[in-house]
C-alpha cells in the first residue's frame, strides 16, 4: 500500500520528508507496526469478542457518514483562553470569524474542556455506546488524544482535505509517538511545562528547578505542582536525570517517592489544574510548575511573575485536535484544522495564546505582527530550546492505569 | 407534642387529612351505594397516586443507579478489556484498606463542621424565631442569600479572603489566633489556606443555612405561652431554655445536624479548593478513582462504603436522640 497514494505532489513530499528524516525516521516503522496491530485488533473484534470499551473497528473516513455537505456547522470544543479574541470586543474571535466568513461554516465554539480526565469522563459514555458526542472537533492533550485513538474513538482524517496542514506541520511534530504519521490528530499548539515563580513572593530569589521547588525550605507551603500526571512526573524525572521519553517503572516510582516526601513535609500547598494562575498572581503560591503560554500571558498583567526553563530540560507536549468517532461533520472539522495551518492564521493565533506554534512559515508572518514574539523561544523555539524539550513516553493501557493510580494517591486521593 | 404523622413531610399535624377523614363520610350522598364504593376505593388509592411522581423519581434516579453501582462495585477488569461481574468483594476491603484514612478524615471534618454549624446556627435561629419581630423575614432572606451565588464561586471567594498576604490572615496572625490554631494542628506556617482549618471553615460556611432553616422552623413553632408558663412557675431563663425550649427544638436540631453532616462528609469541593494534599476527603478520592484512575469498581465500592457508614452513624444517632417525631 502506498501511503502517499492520491496526495498532491508537494503533500506527498512533505510526508515523505517528515517520516524519513531524523527522529521521525523511527515513526515509519512504528506506523507500519501500528497498522498491523490495528488490523489484528479489528479481526479479533470481528471474531465476536466485543470489548466493553475499545476499538469498534473502522473509524476511517469511509465508515462514519459525513453530513458536512448538507449541514454547514461545526461544534468545536476547546480549552478556555485558547483562541485569539478581539481586544475591544471579547465576543469576537478574529481568526475564527474569518474562517466562518470564508468557508460558510457556522462554528459553535464552546470552551468546555477544563481538564483532560474530566472531559474524557464526560464524553466516554457516548463514545463507548457508539453515539455522537455532539462535538465534531475536540482539543485534548497528546496523552489523552493517544488514549482516544488507541481505543478507536477517533476518526481518521483525510489528508486530501488538509493540504496546508500536511505541508506546514513542523517536521518534529509528525513523529508523535501517540499518533504516528498524524493520521488522527493535528496539534493545535505545543505546550511546554516549566517552572514559574512570583519574585515578590520569593523575595527576589530565583527558582529554576524542580529540586528547588521540592526542597527549598523558604518556599515551604507555597509551591504547587500540576494535577496532570505527565507534566508533574515528567518534569520531576527530568530533574532526576531520567529521560521522560524512555523511563522504566522504577524511575516512575522514584519520582513519586520524591514528591511524596515533599508532600509529607508539607512543602507542597496544592496540586492544581489551570487555576494555579490566580495564586501565582497573588503570591499565595511563590513557585510552581506552569505551562509556558499561561505564564507569558500572566506576565503581561503582573511583572513579578517570572519563569525558568529548567537546566535539565522541560516537558514538551502538544494539545491535539481530533474528530471523535461518530461526529457528523468531519470535513468541516478538517476545513478548520487546515485553515489554522496557514502561516498567517497560525501566527495570529500564536500571538494571542502564546503557546508553541506547530506551523512552519508562521514565524515569518509573526514578524509582521510583533517582532518580539517572533523571537520568543517559547512560541518559536530555537534549536537549543527544541533539544531541551522532552516528551512523556506513551503508555500502554495497563501502565497508564497503574501510574494514574499511584499518582492519584500522591495528589491526596 | 404533636402526634406522628405519616407521609406528612412538613412535620405539621395532618389537620387537613384528619378533618377530611372525619367529615368525609358525612358528606357522602346517602344511598348511592356503588358510587360510595368506588369513591372510597378511589380515596384509598389517592395516597398512592400522590406518591407516584416521587416514587418514579426515586426508582429512576436512585434505585436504578444504586443497583448499577452495586453491580459495578463487584466487577473487575479494565477500561480496555471491559468490566465484568466477578463478585470481586475484595474491592471493598481494598478500598477500606487504602482509603481508611480518608474516611476517618471526612467524618472528622464533617462532625466538627456540624458542631460549629450548631453553635453558630442555634443562637441565630433562636433570635430570628423568637426575638426578631418585624425583621424576621429580612433575616431569613439573609440566611439564604448565599444561595443566590454558586457554591463554587462562594468557595473560591474564600481563597481570596483568606489569602496568605490578605488582611484576615494578617489580623489573625497579629492577634496570635494562628499560634493557637497551629498549636492545635489546625493551621501551619502562619497561613489558613491549605490547612484543615480552611477546609472545616469552608464546610461550616457552605452548610450553615441547612442547619439554620430546620432549627428556625422548629423554634418558630414553639408555643410562646409555654415559655410564659415556665416564667410564671419561677423558672430562670436558663432553666426555661434547658427544660422547655431546647427539648421542643430537638427535631430541628436532629434534622439540621443530619442535613449538615451527611452532605458535608461526602463533599469534595472544599477540600479540593481550600485544602492541601494532606486534607483530601473521601469525595476527592472517589472522584480521582472515577475520573483519573478509571477504576470504576473501586470508586463504586468506596461510594457504597461511604453510604453504609453514614447510614449506620445516622441510625445510631437517631436512636440516641430518641426523637420519633423527626421532621
**Among B194, B279, B166, CA closest to A269:** B194
| Structural domain includes residue A132 | yes
Measured between CA atoms, the residue of chain B closest to residue A122 is B291
CA distance B269 to A266: 20
Based on the fold, state whether residues A96 and A135 are members of the same structural domain: yes
Using a CB-CB distance cutoff of 8 angstroms, which residues of chain A are in contact with residue B164? 222, 283-284
Based on the fold, state whether residues A96 and A129 are members of the same structural domain: yes
Question: Which of A51, A117, A269 has the CB atom closest to B194's CB atom?
Answer: A269
Question: Which of A118, A221, A409 has the CB atom closest to B291's CB atom?
Answer: A118
CA of A228 to nearest chain B CA: how many angstroms apart?
10
Q: Residue A243 above 70 pLDDT?
A: yes
Based on the fold, state whether residues A163 and A311 are members of the same structural domain: no
Based on the fold, state whether residues A89 and A137 are members of the same structural domain: yes
CA of B191 to nearest chain A CA: how many angstroms apart?
9
Tell me if A398 and B78 make a contact (CB, 8 A cut-off): yes
Q: Tell me, what CATH number does B231's domain have?
A: 1.10.3720.10
Contact A209, A312 (CB under 8 A): yes
CA distance A61 to A336: 17
How many structural domains compose chain B? 1
Tell me if B290 and A121 make a contact (CB, 8 A cut-off): yes
| Structural domain includes residue A376 | no
**What is the predicted pLDDT for the residue at B11?**
42
Tell me if A401 and B291 make a contact (CB, 8 A cut-off): no
| Structural domain includes residue A122 | yes
| Structural domain includes residue A169 | yes
Based on the fold, state whether residues A60 and A203 are members of the same structural domain: no
Q: Residue A316 above 80 pLDDT?
A: yes
CA of A27 to nearest chain B CA: how many angstroms apart?
24
| Structural domain includes residue B237 | yes
Global confidence as pTM: 0.80
**What is the predicted pLDDT for the residue at B35?**
56
**What is the predicted pLDDT for the residue at A3?**
46
Q: Residue B141 above 60 pLDDT?
A: yes
**What is the predicted pLDDT for the residue at A7?**
55
Tell me if B280 and A401 make a contact (CB, 8 A cut-off): no
For residue B107, name the pLDDT band (cuts at 50, 70, 90).
very high
| Structural domain includes residue B314 | yes
pLDDT digits (tens, 9 = 90+) for A93-134: 999 999 999 999 999 999 999 889 989 999 998 998 889 999
Tell me if B294 and A401 make a contact (CB, 8 A cut-off): yes
CA of A361 to nearest chain B CA: how many angstroms apart?
38
Q: What percent of chain B has pLDDT over 70?
A: 87
Based on the fold, state whether residues A168 and A200 are members of the same structural domain: no
How many structural domains compose chain A? 2
**Among B274, B281, B277, B279, CA closest to B160:** B274
Instruction: Determine phi and psi for A141, rounding to 5 degrees.
Output: -65, 155
**What is the predicted pLDDT for the residue at A300?**
86
Using a CB-CB distance cutoff of 8 angstroms, which residues of chain B are in contact with residue A409? 98
| Structural domain includes residue B144 | yes
Based on the fold, state whether residues A113 and A160 are members of the same structural domain: yes
| Structural domain includes residue B117 | yes
pLDDT digits (tens, 9 = 90+) for B220-248: 999 999 999 999 999 999 999 999 999 99
| Structural domain includes residue B66 | no
Using a CB-CB distance cutoff of 8 angstroms, which residues of chain B are in contact with residue A397? 78-80
Based on the fold, state whether residues A54 and A170 are members of the same structural domain: yes
| Structural domain includes residue A30 | yes
Query: Average pLDDT for residues B142-160, to the nearest whole number?
Result: 91
What residues of chain A have any CB closer than 8 angstroms to a CB in chain B? 51-54, 117-118, 120-121, 151, 220-222, 229, 263, 266, 268-271, 278-279, 282-284, 397-398, 401, 404-405, 407-413
Based on the fold, state whether residues A331 and A308 are members of the same structural domain: no
Tell me if A53 and B79 make a contact (CB, 8 A cut-off): yes
Based on the fold, state whether residues A160 and A216 are members of the same structural domain: no
- The DSSP string of A113-129 is -S-HHHHHHHHHHHHHT
More confident residue, B303 or A50: B303
Which residues form the domain of A91? 9-184+323-341
Based on the fold, state whether residues A14 and A149 are members of the same structural domain: yes
- What does the H/E/C string look like for B148-197? HCCHHHHHHHHHHHCCCCCHHHHHHHHCCHHHHHHHCCCCECCECCCCHH
| Structural domain includes residue A360 | no
| Structural domain includes residue B143 | yes
Beta bridge mates, A224: A270, A288
| Structural domain includes residue A388 | no
**What is the predicted pLDDT for the residue at B248?**
92
**Among A117, A66, A2, CA closest to A328:** A66
| Structural domain includes residue B62 | no
Q: Tell me, what CATH number does A19's domain have?
A: 3.40.190.10
pLDDT digits (tens, 9 = 90+) for A127-142: 988 899 999 999 999 9
Q: How far is CA A123 from CA A115, A129, A138, A256, B179, in A?
A: 12, 10, 11, 29, 48
Which residues form the domain of B224? 98-321
**Residue of A114, A203, A227, A284 to mutate, testing the B interface (most B Cβ within 10 Å of its Cβ):** A284
Based on the fold, state whether residues A237 and A90 are members of the same structural domain: no
| Structural domain includes residue B312 | yes
CA of B128 to nearest chain A CA: how many angstroms apart?
39
β-pairing, A314-322 vs A389-390, is: parallel
Amino acid at each position: 500500500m502506498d501511503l502517499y497514494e492520491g496526495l498532491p505532489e508537494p503533500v506527498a513530499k512533505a510526508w515523505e520528508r517528515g517520516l524519513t528524516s531524523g527522529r521521525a525516521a523511527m515513526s515509519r516503522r512504528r506506523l507500519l507496526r501500528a497498522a498491523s496491530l490495528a488490523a489484528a485488533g479489528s479481526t479479533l473484534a470481528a471474531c465476536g469478542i466485543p470489548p466493553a470499551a475499545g476499538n469498534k473497528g473502522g473509524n476511517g473516513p469511509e465508515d462514519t457518514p459525513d453530513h458536512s455537505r448538507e449541514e454547514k456547522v461545526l461544534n468545536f470544543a476547546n480549552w478556555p483562553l485558547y483562541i485569539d479574541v478581539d481586544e475591544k470586543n471579547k465576543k469576537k474571535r478574529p481568526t475564527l470569524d474569518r474562517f466562518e466568513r470564508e468557508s460558510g461554516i457556522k462554528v459553535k465554539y464552546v470552551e468546555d474542556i477544563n481538564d483532560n480526565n474530566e472531559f474524557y469522563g464526560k464524553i466516554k459514555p457516548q463514545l463507548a455506546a457508539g453515539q455522537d458526542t455532539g462535538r465534531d472537533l475536540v482539543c485534548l492533550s497528546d496523552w489523552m488524544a493517544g488514549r482516544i485513538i488507541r481505543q478507536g474513538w477517533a476518526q481518521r482524517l483525510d489528508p486530501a482535505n488538509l493540504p496546508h496542514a500536511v505541508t506546514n506541520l513542523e517536521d518534529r511534530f509528525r513523529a508523535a509517538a501517540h499518533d504516528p504519521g498524524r493520521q488522527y490528530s493535528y496539534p493545535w499548539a505545543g505546550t511546554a511545562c516549566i517552572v514559574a515563580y512570583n519574585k515578590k513572593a520569593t523575595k527576589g530569589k530565583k527558582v529554576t528547578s524542580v529540586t528547588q521547588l521540592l526542597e527549598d525550605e523558604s518556599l515551604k507551603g507555597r509551591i504547587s505542582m500540576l494535577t496532570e500526571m505527565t507534566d508533574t512526573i515528567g518534569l520531576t524525572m527530568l530533574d532526576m536525570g531520567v529521560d521522560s521519553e524512555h523511563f522504566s517503572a522504577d524511575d516512575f516510582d522514584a519520582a513519586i517517592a520524591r514528591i511524596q516526601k515533599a508532600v509529607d513535609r508539607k512543602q507542597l500547598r496544592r496540586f492544581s489544574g489551570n487555576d494555579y494562575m490566580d495564586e501565582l498572581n497573588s503570591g499565595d503560591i511563590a513557585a510552581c510548575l506552569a505551562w509556558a503560554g499561561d505564564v507569558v500571558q500572566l506576565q503581561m498583567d503582573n511583572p513579578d511573575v517570572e519563569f525558568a526553563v529548567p537546566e535539565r530540560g522541560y516537558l514538551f507536549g502538544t494539545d491535539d485536535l481530533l474528530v471523535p468517532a461518530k461526529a457528523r461533520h468531519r470535513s468541516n472539522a478538517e476545513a478548520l484544522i487546515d485553515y489554522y495551518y496557514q502561516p498567517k492564521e497560525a501566527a495570529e493565533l500564536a500571538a494571542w495564546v502564546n503557546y508553541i506554534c506547530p506551523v512552519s512559515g508562521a514565524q515569518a508572518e509573526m514578524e509582521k505582527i510583533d517582532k518580539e514574539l517572533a523571537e520568543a523561544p517559547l512560541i518559536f523555539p530555537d534549536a537549543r530550546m527544541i533539544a531541551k524539550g522532552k516528551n512523556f513516553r506513551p503508555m500502554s493501557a495497563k501502565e497508564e492505569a497503574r501510574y494514574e493510580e499511584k499518582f492519584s494517591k500522591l495528589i491526596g486521593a | 407534642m404533636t402526634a406522628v404523622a405519616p407521609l406528612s413531610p412538613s412535620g405539621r399535624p395532618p389537620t387537613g387529612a384528619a378533618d377530611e377523614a372525619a367529615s368525609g363520610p358525612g358528606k357522602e350522598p346517602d344511598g348511592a351505594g356503588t358510587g360510595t364504593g368506588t369513591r372510597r376505593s378511589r380515596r384509598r388509592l389517592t395516597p398512592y397516586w400522590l406518591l407516584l411522581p416521587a416514587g418514579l423519581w426515586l426508582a429512576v434516579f436512585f434505585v436504578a443507579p444504586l443497583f448499577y453501582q452495586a453491580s459495578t462495585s463487584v466487577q473487575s477488569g479494565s477500561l480496555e478489556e471491559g468490566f465484568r461481574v466477578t463478585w470481586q468483594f475484595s474491592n471493598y476491603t481494598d478500598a477500606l484498606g487504602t482509603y481508611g484514612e480518608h474516611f476517618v478524615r471526612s467524618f472528622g471534618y464533617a462532625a466538627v463542621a456540624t458542631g460549629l454549624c450548631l453553635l453558630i446556627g442555634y443562637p441565630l435561629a433562636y433570635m430570628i424565631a423568637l426575638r426578631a419581630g418585624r425583621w424576621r423575614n429580612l433575616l431569613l432572606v439573609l440566611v439564604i442569600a448565599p444561595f443566590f451565588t454558586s457554591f463554587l464561586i462562594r468557595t473560591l471567594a474564600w481563597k481570596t479572603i483568606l489569602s496568605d498576604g490578605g488582611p484576615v490572615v494578617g489580623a489573625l496572625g497579629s492577634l496570635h489566633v494562628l499560634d493557637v490554631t497551629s498549636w492545635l494542628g489546625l493551621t501551619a506556617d502562619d497561613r489558613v489556606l491549605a490547612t484543615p482549618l480552611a477546609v472545616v471553615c469552608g464546610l461550616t460556611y457552605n452548610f450553615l443555612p441547612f442547619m439554620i432553616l430546620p432549627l428556625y422552623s422548629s423554634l418558630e413553632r414553639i408555643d410562646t405561652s409555654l415559655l410564659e408558663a415556665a416564667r410564671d412557675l419561677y423558672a430562670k431563663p436558663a432553666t426555661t431554655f434547658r427544660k422547655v425550649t431546647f427539648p421542643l427544638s430537638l427535631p430541628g436540631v436532629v434534622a439540621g445536624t443530619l442535613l449538615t453532616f451527611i452532605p458535608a462528609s461526602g463533599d469534595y469541593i472544599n477540600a479540593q479548593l481550600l485544602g492541601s494534599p494532606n486534607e483530601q476527603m473521601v469525595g476527592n478520592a472517589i472522584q480521582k478513582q472515577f475520573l483519573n484512575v478509571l477504576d470504576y469498581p473501586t470508586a463504586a465500592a468506596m461510594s457504597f462504603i461511604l453510604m453504609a457508614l453514614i447510614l449506620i452513624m445516622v441510625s445510631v444517632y437517631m436512636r440516641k436522640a430518641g426523637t420519633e417525631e423527626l421532621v
